[in-house]
Structure 1
Amino acid sequence: MAESCKDLPDECWELIFNRLHKLHHSHLESPSLCCKRFLSITNTLRTHFTLIDATVFPISILLNRFPNINSIDLSSFRNGDLDRVVADIASSNLNLKTLVFSGTDGLPLGSLRILGSRMKNLRALMCSWLRTLRDIELFVIADSMPCLEDLDISYPLNSFRSDPEIQGLSQGDVGVTDMGIEVLSSKLKCLRKINVSGNEFLTDKSLLALSTNCVHLTDIVVRNCSLVTLDGIKFVMHNSTNLSSLSLQEIDFGRLDNYSIRCARNISTLEIYRSVVPDEYLHLLANAGIPLKTFALLFCTPVCFTFSGISSFFNKYRALKSLSLSAIPFLSDEKMSDLSQCLSALVIIRLMVCYNLTESTFFTLAKNCPLLEDISMERTNLGGGGGDMATDIVQNPTIRSLNLANNPNLTDECLAKLASVCPSIEVLDVSSCERITEKGIAEFWKRGSKIRKLRIAGCVGIRSIGNSFQLSELEVLGAAGSGINELVVSGNRCGGLLHLNLKGCSGVTTVALKEILTNCERLRNINLIGCLNVSREMVDWMVFSRPSLRKIILPYSHLPSESQRKLFLRHGCLVLSEQAEVEL
Structure 2
Amino acid sequence: MEISLNSSSNETTLLADDCWEFIFKIIISDDSCYFKSLSLVSKQFLSITNRLLFSLTISTLTPQPLLPSLFQRFTYLTSLNLTRFHGDLNKLLCQISCFPLNITSLNLSAKFTKSTIPFVGLLSFSKKITTLTSLTYSNIYSIHYTDFIFIADCFPLLEELYLINNLCGSYDNFEVDFSDSFTLYKLRKVRLKRQSINDELLFHLFKNCKHLEEAVILGCDGITDDGIASAISQRPTLKSLSLSDTFGLFSNITTHFIDSLVSLPLTKLILINCCKYSYAGIICLLSKCRQSLQHLNLLNADFLSDQHVVEFSLLLRNLVFINLIGCKMLTESALFALVRNCASLSEIKIEIIWRKSVQNPDSLMGFGVYPQLKSLYFAKSVENPDSLLDFGVYPQLKYLYFANNRWLSDESIIKFASIFHNLQVLDLSNCVRISDEISKLEVLNLSETEVDDETLNVISRNCCGLLQLKLNFCNNITEKGVNRVIENCTQLRKISLQFCDKVHNNVVDSMLNSRPSLRKIIAPHGLDLCDKKKKLFLSQGCILK
TM-score range, shorter chain: 0.7 to 0.9
Equivalent residue in structure 2 for 1:434, among 388, 399, 406? 406
Map 1:53-452 → 2, pairs under 5 A: 53-55=61-63, 58-77=66-85, 86-102=93-109, 104-105=111-112, 110-130=120-140, 132-133=141-142, 141=151, 144-157=154-167, 161=169, 178=174, 186=182, 188=184, 190-199=186-195, 201-250=196-245, 275-276=250-251, 280=255, 284=259, 288=262, 290-301=264-275, 304-306=277-279, 308-319=280-291, 320-377=293-350, 379-382=351-354, 390=364, 392-411=366-385, 413-418=386-391, 420=392, 422-452=394-424
Check 1:382–1:494 CA distance in 2 against 1; reply closer, same or farther (3 A cut): farther
Check 1:193–1:294 CA distance in 2 against 1; reply closer, same or farther (3 A cut): closer
Aligned partners of 1:383 and 1:414 also within 8 Å: no
Aligned partners of 1:141 and 1:184 also within 8 Å: no
Per the TM alignment, residue 124 of structure 1 is displaced from its structure 2 partner at its CA by 1.0
Deviations 1:326-383 (CA, angstroms, capped at 9, x unpaired): 3344534444334322222221122212233334433433333232222222x32257
Quick one: distance in 2 between partners of 1:464 and 1:45?
41
Q: Secondary structure at the match of 1:445?
A: helix
Aligned partners of 1:138 and 1:180 also within 8 Å: no
Deviates more, 1:438-447 or 1:379-388: 379-388
Equivalent residue in structure 1 for 2:448, among 481, 487, 493? 481
State the identity as a percent: 30
Deviates more, 1:442-451 or 1:540-549: 540-549
- State the Cα RMSD in Å: 4.0
Quick one: distance in 2 between partners of 1:573 and 1:185?
52
Aligned partners of 1:251 and 1:275 also within 8 Å: no
Confirm whether residue 40 of structure 1 aligns to residue 40 of structure 2: no
Aligned partners of 1:525 and 1:552 also within 8 Å: yes
Deviates more, 1:82-91 or 1:390-399: 82-91
* Amino acid in structure 1 at the alignment position of 2:412: G
* Amino acid in structure 2 at the alignment position of 1:186: F
Quick one: distance in 1 between partners of 2:363 and 2:345?
22
Q: Secondary structure at the match of 2:298?
A: strand
* Amino acid in structure 2 at the alignment position of 1:428: L
- The equivalent residue for 1:17 is 24
* Amino acid in structure 1 at the alignment position of 2:216: V
Aligned partners of 1:525 and 1:551 also within 8 Å: yes
* Amino acid in structure 1 at the alignment position of 2:57: T
Check 1:460–1:95 CA distance in 2 against 1; reply closer, same or farther (3 A cut): same
Aligned partners of 1:353 and 1:380 also within 8 Å: no
Check 1:156–1:186 CA distance in 2 against 1; reply closer, same or farther (3 A cut): farther
Quick one: distance in 1 between partners of 2:318 and 2:93?
45
* Amino acid in structure 1 at the alignment position of 2:444: L
Check 1:546–1:188 CA distance in 2 against 1; reply closer, same or farther (3 A cut): farther
Check 1:214–1:407 CA distance in 2 against 1; reply closer, same or farther (3 A cut): same
Aligned partners of 1:100 and 1:126 also within 8 Å: yes
Aligned partners of 1:428 and 1:455 also within 8 Å: yes
Per the TM alignment, residue 209 of structure 1 is displaced from its structure 2 partner at its CA by 4.1
Check 1:281–1:516 CA distance in 2 against 1; reply closer, same or farther (3 A cut): farther
Aligned partners of 1:142 and 1:184 also within 8 Å: no
Aligned partners of 2:349 and 2:378 also within 8 Å: yes
Check 1:325–1:237 CA distance in 2 against 1; reply closer, same or farther (3 A cut): closer
- The equivalent residue for 1:581 is none
Q: Secondary structure at the match of 1:440?
A: helix
Deviates more, 1:327-336 or 1:182-191: 182-191
- How many residues are matched? 528
Per the TM alignment, residue 305 of structure 1 is displaced from its structure 2 partner at its CA by 1.5
Q: Secondary structure at the match of 1:41?
A: helix
